[in-house]
């Protein structure tokens, strides 16, 4: 069972692949066993899943693998990824596993691992899991009288709901009676999100909020995948449109005019709400690929920004190290440690509504107060080794001279008013080029330089 070579995507963001192709049920069971031994120490583990069709199958495999090495399993059912992290602490568990491939298409699934602190495993813990999977210790399987127990708990959403409600000014939000169009993509947020928004005094127009139906489109909440949503927001006369991904840890936003703001604005808007309340000398934390808008907003409140390698676990490391009051990434992931030390679209929605209530202005006007940049993102067919091999030539290129160089995560080149970042993805078998500049043509030019220098082709997967 253990030791089958992995050909899927492996990172601190999860171990994910196409089920029956790059990731098999046998491998999933083996990885659960390895997690149970290496991180959970054969103690209590909570397990959740999103609404993918392979979810029930992998839930059985994960629970069986954990129980086989002596872990007592608590099955949370279909819940958002941040709910699993919260449940680790509530159940005094030694770890948690969420079965979800996040924004990937339906044929994908994955395991996201949480340690006993209710946060993503770090690289060291992931290495322990992989080593145990590759070379399992003697006697890791329990005898018949030593296997772990199993029980279900369908109340995990309650604590998640309570924490979000306690973190924001509920009365201020209720006083504005916002009308919200909510797209749950038939994912794990389909139960909690409508309930939360209703409790915050919103008039909720929910679409794609059926756990029993497939994703209605490519589930990644990008502009291309949400072209239809602006018209729906306008038709509903909504104050804001919120869009979740399948495991409800990411949030995209559409303003009242129907304009897709982009996931980059999610963290910026939520940070404005938190930093304004936290006051001067507070701190936000994000990754190297997130928009410089965050620095502009932080400066407004006398706050500062720390940056880390890409990946939720890396941002959490930075938040804990520097004592950040808010963090996240430019993919729509917001981390508020008052709720959970991980990305959560639900606190994201609540913070945006709180910001609008405080500003007493439409979302489009609030956004206009934030300095704007053009950001360009693309995926290219380069693996991690190819990225590393390309770095010396990129640094030596004439067009890159004068840039500040950061090699913590691939290569980031920064100038006073623009930057470009090349890195291998931790969630897909591709690399990413992200560039930001005052206008889109300048951002695309930076990406073109990278692509031409590496000979990279557009990625298909």
Read off the CATH number of the domain in which 75 is found.
Answer: 3.40.120.10
Contacts of residues 434-440 at CB distance under 8 Å and 24 or more positions apart, as own/partner, are 434/289, 434/375, 434/376, 434/377, 435/375, 435/376, 436/291, 436/292, 436/373, 436/374, 436/375, 436/376, 437/373, 437/374, 438/373, 438/374, 439/374, 440/374, 440/376
149 and 213: one domain? no
Does 2 fall in a domain?
no
| Residue 414 scores a pLDDT above 50 | yes
358 and 386: one domain? no
Q: What is the pLDDT of residues 153-167, one digit of tens each?
A: 999 999 999 999 999
182 and 150: one domain? no
Spatial distance between the Cα atoms of 208 and 226, rounded to a whole number of angstroms: 13
How confident is the model at residue 348, as a pLDDT?
98
Q: What is the pLDDT of residues 331-349, one digit of tens each?
A: 899 999 999 999 999 999 9
Does 460 fall in a domain?
no
83 and 148: one domain? yes
Does 187 fall in a domain?
yes
Instruction: Among 352, 368, 384, identify where a domain stops.
Output: 368
If one counts the domains in the chain, the total is: 3
262-266 mean pLDDT: 89
361 and 411: one domain? no
Per-chain mean pLDDT for the chain = 95
103 and 18: one domain? yes
Using CB atoms within 10 Å of the CB of residue 324, give its burial: 0 to 12 exposed, 13 to 18 middle, 19+ buried: buried
Spatial distance between the Cα atoms of 434 and 289, rounded to a whole number of angstroms: 7
Does 274 fall in a domain?
yes
| Residue 261 scores a pLDDT above 60 | yes
Task: Measure CA 182 to chain center.
Answer: 18
| Residue 48 scores a pLDDT above 50 | yes
Instruction: Among 337, 368, 399, identify where a domain stops.
Output: 368
In the annotation, is 102 catalytic? Answer: yes
Residue of 13, 51, 102, 431 marked catalytic: 102
Does 25 fall in a domain?
yes
47 and 107: one domain? yes
65 and 176: one domain? no
Does 67 fall in a domain?
yes
420 and 273: one domain? no
Instruction: Among 330, 350, 368, identify where a domain stops.
Output: 368
Spatial distance between the Cα atoms of 16 and 81, rounded to a whole number of angstroms: 15
115 and 244: one domain? no
The domain in which residue 300 lies consists of: 159-368
Reported as a pLDDT band with limits 50, 70 and 90, residue 326 is very high
Instruction: Report the residue count for the chain.
Output: 461
Reported as a pLDDT band with limits 50, 70 and 90, residue 460 is low
36-41 mean pLDDT: 97
213 and 358: one domain? yes
Q: What is the pLDDT of residues 99-108, one digit of tens each?
A: 999 999 999 9
305 and 270: one domain? yes
Phi, psi of 104 (to 5 degrees): -65, 155
Spatial distance between the Cα atoms of 68 and 377, rounded to a whole number of angstroms: 43
Does 4 fall in a domain?
no
């Amino acid at each position: 069972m253990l030791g089958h070579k992995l050909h899927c995507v492996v990172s601190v963001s999860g171990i994910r692949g196409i089920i029956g192709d790059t990731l098999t049920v046998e491998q999933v069971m083996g990885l659960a066993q390895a997690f149970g031994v290496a991180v959970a120490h054969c103690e209590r583990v909570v397990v959740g899943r999103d609404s993918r069709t392979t979810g029930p199958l992998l839930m059985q495999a994960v629970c069986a693998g954990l129980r086989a090495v002596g872990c007592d399993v608590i099955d949370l059912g279909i819940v958002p990824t941040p709910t699993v992290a919260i449940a680790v602490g509530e159940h005094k568990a030694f770890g948690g596993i969420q079965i979800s491939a996040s924004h990937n298409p339906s044929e994908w699934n994955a395991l996201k691992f949480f340690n006993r602190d209710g946060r993503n495993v770090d690289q060291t813990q992931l290495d322990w899991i992989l080593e145990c999977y590759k070379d399992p210790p003697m006697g890791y399987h329990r005898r018949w009288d030593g296997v772990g127990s199993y029980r279900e708990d369908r109340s995990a959403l309650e604590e998640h709901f309570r924490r979000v409600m306690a973190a924001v000014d509920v009365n201020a939000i209720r006083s504005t009676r916002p009308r919200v169009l909510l797209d749950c993509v038939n994912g794990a947020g389909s139960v909690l999100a409508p309930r939360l928004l209703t409790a915050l005094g919103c008039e909720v127009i929910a679409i794609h909020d059926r756990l029993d139906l497939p994703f209605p489109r490519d589930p990644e909440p990008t502009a291309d995948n949400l072209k239809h949503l602006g018209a729906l927001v306008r038709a509903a006369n909504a104050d804001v449109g919120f869009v979740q991904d399948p495991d409800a840890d990411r949030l995209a936003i559409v303003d009242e005019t129907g304009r897709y703001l982009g996931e980059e604005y999610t963290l910026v808007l939520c940070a404005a709400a938190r930093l304004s309340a936290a006051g001067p000398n507070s701190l936000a934390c994000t990754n190297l690929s997130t928009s410089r808008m965050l620095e502009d907003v932080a400066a407004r409140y006398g706050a500062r920004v720390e940056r880390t390698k890409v990946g939720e676990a890396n941002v959490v490391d930075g938040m804990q190290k520097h004592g950040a009051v808010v963090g996240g990434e430019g993919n729509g992931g917001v981390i508020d440690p008052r709720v959970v030390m991980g990305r959560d679209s639900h606190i994201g929605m609540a913070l945006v509504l709180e910001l609008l209530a405080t500003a007493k202005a439409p979302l489009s006007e609030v956004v206009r107060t934030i300095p704007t940049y053009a950001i360009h993102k693309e995926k290219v067919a380069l693996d991690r080794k190819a990225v590393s091999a390309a770095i010396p030539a990129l640094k030596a290129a004439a067009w890159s001279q004068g840039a500040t160089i950061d090699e913590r995560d691939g290569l980031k080149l920064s100038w006073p008013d623009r930057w470009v970042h090349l890195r291998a993805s931790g969630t897909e078998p591709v690399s990413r080029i992200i560039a930001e500049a005052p206008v889109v043509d300048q951002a695309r030019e930076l990406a073109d330089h990278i692509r031409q220098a590496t000979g990279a082709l557009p990625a298909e997967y």
